[in-house]
């Protein structure tokens, strides 16, 4: 397992990077606790043409400004005023491409994750959704803009396992009916038959 570099996350093909991150590991040290988890599900968002992207049309607002920063940083935003959603910025500076991490499989720090989620046992419900796993790992908007490629960073992204194309399911993204035709683009990627991926299995718009 090795720490990603900024250059490795500086591609213009966010679809390829979304699939490449499957099997990789997120590590964090927050509030004195150490956690790690394997990425099992992602979604790609690509400005300016993707109506599902916060930066559609290359829109720049206070919230989206961070999406245009250097690759290898976190874009963390609040969804419905409740859930903190974590994205990896994956394009050269000035280009707003991000990969949403939808679900992870816990590896280390499971007791701490359970405490944060007020759960007793590590069922998939612990981390099988974009707001669930960030709560479990203590990630909030305080970490928006954080580098994921620094050895001393609070959140770090490591390359680990390769997932073969035959073991990746591509399907429609979740919860973006507002994106019109873009909602049907198959830009959600999951490891096939993995019990820690999110629901629903099939999205209908």
Could you identify the residue written with the tokens 């599900």? 41
Q: Going from the N-terminus, what domains does the chain have, and what CATH number goes with each?
A: 2-191 (3.10.300.10)
Residues near 164 by Cβ (< 8 Å), separated by ≥ 6? none
- Work out the number of other CB atoms within 10 angstroms of the CB of residue 174: 17
The conformation of residue 80, written as its DSSP 8-state character, comes to: T
Query: According to the model, what pLDDT value does residue 184 have?
Result: 97
CA distance 69 to 118: 35
Average pLDDT over residues 163-173: 97
Per-residue pLDDT band at 81 (split at 50, 70, 90) = confident
CA nearest 133: which of 154, 103, 162?
103
Q: pLDDT of 178-199, one tens digit each?
A: 999 999 999 999 999 999 999 9
Identify the CA nearest to 198 among candidates 82, 134, 104, 90: 104
* Predicted local confidence at residue 151, as pLDDT: 95
Residue with tokens 């040290």: 29
Would the pTM of this model clear 0.85, i.e. be above it? Answer: yes
80 band by pLDDT with thresholds 50, 70 and 90: confident
């Amino acid at each position: 397992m090795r720490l990603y570099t900024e250059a490795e996350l500086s591609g213009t093909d966010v679809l390829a990077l979304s699939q490449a991150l499957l099997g990789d590991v997120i590590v964090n040290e927050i509030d004195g606790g150490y956690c790690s988890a394997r990425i099992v599900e992602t979604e790609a968002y690509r400005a300016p043409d993707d109506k599902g992207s916060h930066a559609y049309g290359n829109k720049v607002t206070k919230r989206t400004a961070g999406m245009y920063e250097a690759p290898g940083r976190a874009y963390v935003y609040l969804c419905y005023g409740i859930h903190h959603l974590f994205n990896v910025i994956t394009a050269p500076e000035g280009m707003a491409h991000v990969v949403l991490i939808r679900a992870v499989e816990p590896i280390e720090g499971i007791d701490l994750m359970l405490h944060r989620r007020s759960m007793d046992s590590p069922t998939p419900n612990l981390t099988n959704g974009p707001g669930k796993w960030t709560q479990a790992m203590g990630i909030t908007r305080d970490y928006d803009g954080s580098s994921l490629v620094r050895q001393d960073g609070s959140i770090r992204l490591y390359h680990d396992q390769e997932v073969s194309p035959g073991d990746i399911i591509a399907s429609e993204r979740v919860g973006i009916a507002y994106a019109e035709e873009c909602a049907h683009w198959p830009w959600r990627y999951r490891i096939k038959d993995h019990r820690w991926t999110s629901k629903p299995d099939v999205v209908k718009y």
